Structure 1
Amino acid sequence: MRHVPAAAFGNEGMGMSLPVIDLSSHEDAATSPGSEVERKEIAGRSPTRIAFDRLRKDPVAVICVVVILFFIVVAVFAPLLEKLFGVSTDTVLASTRVDLVTGLPKIGPPNHGFDPDHPFGVAPGDGTDNLAVWIEGCRTSLYLATVATVGSTAIGIVLGLLAGFLGGIVDTIISFFIDLFLTFPFLLAALSVAPILNERYATEPDKLAVVSFYVLVAILVFFGWMTVARLVRGEALALREREFVKAARVIGVPTWQVLFKEILPNLLAPIIVSISLGLPTFVALEAGLSYLGIGVTGRESWGVTINAATKYWETYPQYLLEPVLGIAILVVALNLLGDAVRDAFDPKTRR
């Protein structure tokens, strides 16, 4: 950088000289290719892309994704995996696998070594293969939790958008129903429905299996949409005052387009976080209700297995630990991934 003499400013007679500031380093930093590239990369990425980049660099999130993908593969390809391992949940002659006196298996654990034909052992009492039951239970839990999450999220989004955007009497009515449904005891409703179904379809076990599954989904959706609706309503209240929403309304854009094309895309982050935190809740609820005998009927479930395995805890602990570990690992992975997603979309919450 060129040094300017003090004489140029008329201070030579006073013996004063102005300090010279070297700006070359700042000029170099401002014009360096590396910093320019970084600025362009940041400027060219959407908030969603930035959040997913954070997730990709989070080792905990990556591990959780791998674990969840494993359970998804097990659930989706359950029939193929059962054929691959040569196991099934078909009814067998109990006396061929189980000691009729003690009820414990005559093959595999707890009193015998590892059996490659039944890697997880067989169930006491009826001799059903535990691996096949575990795979089918994984399928039931994930399918039910996914359907319940999608249903409750869809209802919550629609009602939350309408309440937050339209306001007035619409907001008052929807908010009233949100508060009303939040006061209903979930467990009491489930306990009331189960005996009715069992009595109605007692002579039709095939129909009971289907009806009990979708009734449980309906109960979970019925008591699960309010949290999403409240979240979306609060965000919509803030977004409806933004300039781009007001501009869309001024030029005559239909209300449904404003809701689903202007406001909804800006709610992607909280909705993804809500879904990621809702899935483990529904997985745990399904297992708990099935354990209490008011969940799914006529199909394999981790909760049903836990209910049957509790009385064999002292003599055959593996029978109980297999579904419990499955639930624990899946729920912990979903919860940790939900926390990572929340932190990725809202860096201010990162620890």
Structure 2
Amino acid sequence: MTVGPGDVNSTLDEVAAAGNEAGSSLRAATGSPGDSGRKKLESRSPVQIAFARLRRDKIAMVCAVIVVLFVLMGIFAPLLAGLEGQSPTATHYDLIGNDNLPSFYTNGQHWLGITSSNGYDVFARFVYGIRPSFLIAISASIVTTVIGVVLGLLAGFLGGWVDRVIGWLTDFSLSLPILLMAIALVPVMSQYLAGSEPSQSQVQQVRIVVLMIVLVFSGWAGTCRLVRGETLALRQREFVQAARALGAPTGRVLFKEVLPNLTSIILVSITLAIPAYIGAEAGLSYLGVGLTLPTADWGLDISLAQDQMQAFPLPLLVPLIGLLIAVLCLSLLGDAISDAFNPNTRR
């Protein structure tokens, strides 16, 4: 049987038509790029993926809103206390021990009552007490993370004697009894740094700085160890080896190649350190080695109000519940961020 050129051409036309029809059906079914309503695939970085996972976490979003409210209350504490018309350091001795007033005395001037020891307004001290707790915790967390990340990078990337020296410092820091050290050092350092005749504001400023120093000294070692272990793994990766082979300086390799890959560790370290430091600062103030009167502080107010718990519980319950909610929300938010940046977890 002889096949002519016309038969071959007609057969090829039929095959092409069938292929076009099949391709159109496949694109209509799968939404391939040839379709007019195709969807563009957008590439996202691991950080963007993590934040997308975090936004879908309802508990994390609720905790984030509560934390923001606490921060706003601390920032606008003068405005909130001004609405009540009270000051956190003003005393009302005329209302203490007045037999004509109930022990739970509250009115339009004192929304949550006053303390029975010195007549401080409870609401004003609550909103002002947010300031030192969050200021010390956030500042100490940032400084701790910076020191831990830098030393961890150097120890993990350089190795040798640098790694050994930083390792010794880390072990020394972790071996110290932090609570006893804080109880011993805070009063001594505060008195030494404040001078012979300091003012009340200078004493409080020095105590805040000393508390930050103690918290930073006790917290940088954990971050350093974590960053060191991750850096040891990253320095063997191909992109780091390529940068070193091209002659990139050590500083550029550390802060341009390795550091961006530690973003998740840095964020998790900060978010988990803040609630721990808030609790630590309140605990030290409760023990009498933190801030002192007349400065408003949650831990200090809890310590002063524990004697009047049976007669009037609000001076104790208000800062205690505020501290509990703040630490709980920050801890849950830190756990959510840790899970969001961990690709092996699903919340």
Match of 1:216 among 211, 214, 220: 211
Find the counterpart in structure 1 of residue 109 from structure 2. Answer: 117
Q: Runs of at least 4 residues of structure 1 off by over 6 A? A: 22-27
Runs of 5+ consecutive residues of structure 2 not aligned to the other structure: 1-21
Instruction: Provide the rounded CA distance (Å) in 2 between the counterparts of 1:228 and 1:100.
Output: 54
With the length of structure 1 as denominator, give the TM-score of the two structures: 0.85
- SS of aligned partner of 1:223: helix
**Retained in 1: the 8 A contact 2:92–2:120?**
no
Q: Quote the RMSD (CA, aligned, Å).
A: 2.4
1:165 equivalent to 2:160? Answer: no
CA distance in 2, matches of 1:322, 1:67: 16
Q: Does structure 1 residue 192 correspond to structure 2 residue 184?
A: yes
Counterpart of 2:143 in structure 1 is 151
Q: Equivalent pairs: percent with the same residue?
A: 43
The structure whose RCO (Cα within 8 Å, separation 6+) is larger is 2
Q: Secondary structure at the match of 1:300?
A: coil
1:25-82 CA-to-partner distances (Å, cap 9, x unmatched) read 69933727699637x13xx111111111111111111101100000110112222222
Deviates more, 1:186-195 or 1:173-182: 186-195
Would you say how many aligned residue pairs link Structure 1 and Structure 2?
320
Aligned counterparts, 1:331-346, within 5 A: 331-346=327-342
| 1:275 aligned partner, one-letter code | I
Give per-residue Cα distances to partners, 1:156-188, cap 9 Å, x unaligned.
011000001111111111111111110000011
Task: State whether residues 197 and 208 of structure 1, in contact with CA within 8 Å, keep that contact through their aligned partners in structure 2.
Answer: no
Q: CA deviation at 1:194?
A: 3.3
Structure 1, unaligned runs of 5 or more: 1-21
| Cα distance, 1:136 vs structure 2 | 1.2
Matched residue SS, 2:143? helix
1:289 Cα shift? 0.6
Change (3 A) 1:59 1:218: same
The separation in 1 between residues aligned to 2:297 and 2:254, in whole angstroms, is: 39
Q: Secondary structure at the match of 1:224?
A: helix
Of residues 310-319 and 138-147 in structure 1, the stretch that sits farther from structure 2 once superposed is: 310-319
Residue 327 of structure 1 is matched in structure 2 by 323
Distance 1:198 1:256 in 2: 37
1:238 to 1:311, Cα distance in 2 relative to 1, 3 A: same
Within a 5 Å distance, the mapping from 1:1-351 to structure 2 comes to 28-29=29-30, 31=32, 37=39, 40-41=41-42, 44-95=43-94, 97-99=95-97, 110-112=103-105, 114-197=106-189, 200=192, 203-204=197-198, 205-298=200-293, 299-351=295-347
Q: What is the DSSP-based 3-state SS (H/G/I as helix, E as strand, rest coil) of the residue aligned with 2:64?
A: helix
Aligned-pair CA distance for 1:110:
4.3
